[in-house]
Structure 1
Amino acid sequence: MQASPSARYSRQLALPGFGPEAQQRLADARVLVIGAGGLGSSVIPALAAAGVGTIGIVDDDTVELSNLHRQLAHSLADVGRTKARSAAETVAAIDPATTVHTVEARLTAANALDLFAGYDLVVDGSDNFPTRYLANDAAALTDIPLVWGAVSQFAGQAGVAWASRGPQYRDLFPAPPPPGSVLSCEAGGVLPTVVAVIGSIMAGEALKILTGIGTPLIGRVTTYDALGGGFRELAYAPDPDAAPITALIDYELFCGIRDTIDVDELAASLEGVTLIDVREPWEAEIASLPGATLLPLGSLESTMAQIDSSKPVVVYCHAGIRSATAVSLLAAHGIPARSLDGGIDAWSRRIDPTVVRY
């Protein structure tokens, strides 16, 4: 038997300043969550449980076993499934009446404005700087509030950007850090409870903005240090010298990240790059690109000292999947590299058909 709304939300309806009107605002609200990984796994269930009527989930990734220690919206049975779909089923288990829209794709400059226009608030739980700056700029152009957060190892931070009401993410971080200077969760690890704490703060900020209670973290960023167990708050103001945001840009270029190269560009610059093949030896025996050094992905971490990084590094595999993983691994060790889009298969199709396809 379905419980009545008053019974389901009785503990928050009893809060001072909350009541039925605030609950109705949540029911009418449309919230877009970028990322269904660590932070999203805390944010999405919290929003559903609180009564947010419509939740959009944008994520192009799939669930991996290594995700499960911190991404609590997913289970062992979800390994290999898309995170967006898995998170949507978690929402359905919490409240089947919640409307969920899944976008199993990466947020890009091409789709961000259209996506944002359909929502009242955006929560950015992404794990990379290009997406964070993109989310900030798209929120500024559509003038909707953006709740953002980030975690690394034993610490995390959260804040709110709302262009018409205060400073933005760009005012706090005018320029992105150098590529590879901030460890990813994969490279540096992350304490799962840090993800839960920061995700809960982000969900709380979203609920405050949607209901009109409390004071949102506009112009303030909260940081949490799990090792010390403490919180700190930093206030910041709009940068008077910042250029206005008038359009979305190339965010990978802005962040110094060019992690793919197409076969035409490689063919034109083949003599001037360090070419790394991360396939298995048996694959290299079937077909290889000229001048490539074979360093299989499984042993790359122990053999990357062999890479000549005095020239631009290009990594390839069969279709571009393993090489993309290799690029992330190299970046974590301070070696910038680009992945050949489509791999040796694309090279065979478009550049040199004498290279055997397999």
Structure 2
Amino acid sequence: MDDEQLLRYSRHILLEEFGIDGQARVSAAHALVIGAGGLGSPAVLYLAGAGVGQITLVDDDDVDLTNLQRQIAHTSDRVGLPKVESAAQAMLALNPGIEVRTLVGRADAALLDQWVPKADVVLDCSDNFATRQAVNRACVAHAKPLVAGAAIRFDGQLSVYDTRRDDAPCYACVFPPDAQFEETLCAVLGVFAPVVGAIGTLQAAEALKLLAGMGESLAGRLLMFDGRTGRFDEMRVRRDLHCPVCAHRAAASDAERRE
């Protein structure tokens, strides 16, 4: 780490729990971020500012005027650009010392199977249930920690799904893939801009903790935010031993115990 980097990251290095070793781990890490919208915007800006060495950003959408109320990585003069390109400009303006890779496309199974294994942490900042389930399946398959957030109207939620831990649930344990529900979109119901900012920022915090090897992650806990009252609530979430995505972990653990 050179003198300029020591100065740039000095406020993290000053933290006893983070320190120069934590910063070195962050600088050597690769984060995969799915979605460059309301959640992804603050998440990638904080990851870039913190010096995550490689950030791969996936989104298939272009910047629209209606995005600018909440998607703070984008600007009026970048309306019409792919969101990943717009976000990359903002990230590199903040920190030119990192590597940003942009992938214009949907996070389907093929793309995820290619890029999830290369990441140290995955942030799901998408806005639909099908993508969240696909990202979770890839993270379980490749044993990568997943930081997943969601927000609509005045409500937000966040958790870490780290199946490297035997006791930790995956996303599908908490939100079963076959659950029947009506998809809610902010284009129809609206979203309070600071709520996506708060959840996206917390996603960056959880990712940085995982990368730096410090603190306690949200694995096994679901954090919920009510923007109307400014209250955070937390509930414990458990692994489903019959989960269609990660139940094989239970069988593997039982086999190990029998041996």
Aligned to 1:168: 170
Report the Cα offset of residue 173 of structure 1.
1.0
Corresponding position: 1:111 with 2:111:
yes
For 1:185 and 1:39, the matched residues in 2 are separated by 12
For 2:134 and 2:236, the matched residues in 1 are separated by 22
Report the Cα offset of residue 99 of structure 1.
0.2
Specify the structure having the higher radius of gyration (Cα). Answer: 1
For 2:65 and 2:59, the matched residues in 1 are separated by 17
Aligned to 2:124: 124
Report the Cα offset of residue 182 of structure 1.
3.7
Q: Which runs of 5+ in 1 are unaligned?
A: 248-358
Aligned to 1:73: 73
Report the Cα offset of residue 178 of structure 1.
3.5
TM-score, normalised via structure 2 length: 0.91
* Closer, same or farther: CA 212–56 of 1 in aligned 2, 3 Å: same
Q: What is the RMSD of the two structures over their aligned residues, measured on CA atoms?
A: 1.6
Aligned to 2:231: 230
Report the Cα offset of residue 29 of structure 1.
0.3
For 2:130 and 2:224, the matched residues in 1 are separated by 21
Query: What letter is aligned with 2:171?
Result: Y
Query: What letter is aligned with 1:213?
Result: M
For 2:5 and 2:109, the matched residues in 1 are separated by 39
Aligned to 1:34: 34
Report the Cα offset of residue 111 of structure 1.
1.8
For 1:4 and 1:30, the matched residues in 2 are separated by 21
Aligned to 1:61: 61
* Closer, same or farther: CA 88–225 of 1 in aligned 2, 3 Å: same
Count of residues paired in the alignment: 245
1:287-308 C-alpha deviation (Å, 9 max, x unpaired)? xxxxxxxxxxxxxxxxxxxxxx
Runs of 4+ in 1 over 6 A off after TM superposition: none
For 2:84 and 2:19, the matched residues in 1 are separated by 31
Report the Cα offset of residue 245 of structure 1.
4.5
* Closer, same or farther: CA 3–45 of 1 in aligned 2, 3 Å: farther
Q: Indicate if the aligned counterparts of 2:64 and 2:80 stay in contact, CA closer than 8 A.
A: yes
TM-score, normalised via structure 1 length: 0.66
Report the Cα offset of residue 17 of structure 1.
1.4
For 1:54 and 1:244, the matched residues in 2 are separated by 28
Aligned to 1:214: 215
Report the Cα offset of residue 119 of structure 1.
1.1
For 1:243 and 1:171, the matched residues in 2 are separated by 8
For 2:217 and 2:15, the matched residues in 1 are separated by 17
Report the Cα offset of residue 8 of structure 1.
0.9
Query: What letter is aligned with 2:24?
Result: Q
The sequence identity of aligned pairs, in percent, is 41
Q: Which runs of 5+ in 2 are unaligned?
A: 249-259
For 1:162 and 1:243, the matched residues in 2 are separated by 16
Query: What letter is aligned with 2:88?
Result: A
Report the Cα offset of residue 25 of structure 1.
0.4
For 2:212 and 2:3, the matched residues in 1 are separated by 23
Q: Indicate if the aligned counterparts of 1:167 and 1:238 stay in contact, CA closer than 8 A.
A: yes
Query: What letter is aligned with 1:242?
Result: C
For 1:182 and 1:225, the matched residues in 2 are separated by 19
For 2:172 and 2:247, the matched residues in 1 are separated by 14
For 1:111 and 1:4, the matched residues in 2 are separated by 35
Query: What letter is aligned with 1:171?
Result: C
Aligned to 1:15: 15
For 1:242 and 1:11, the matched residues in 2 are separated by 42
Aligned to 1:85: 85
* Closer, same or farther: CA 246–62 of 1 in aligned 2, 3 Å: farther
1:311-343 C-alpha deviation (Å, 9 max, x unpaired)? xxxxxxxxxxxxxxxxxxxxxxxxxxxxxxxxx
The secondary structure found in structure 2 opposite 1:132 is helix
1:41-70 C-alpha deviation (Å, 9 max, x unpaired)? 010000000110100000010000000010
Corresponding position: 1:197 with 2:198:
yes
Report the Cα offset of residue 244 of structure 1.
4.5
For 1:36 and 1:220, the matched residues in 2 are separated by 25
Aligned to 1:148: 148
Report the Cα offset of residue 14 of structure 1.
1.0
1:113-152 C-alpha deviation (Å, 9 max, x unpaired)? 1111111111000000000000101000010101000001
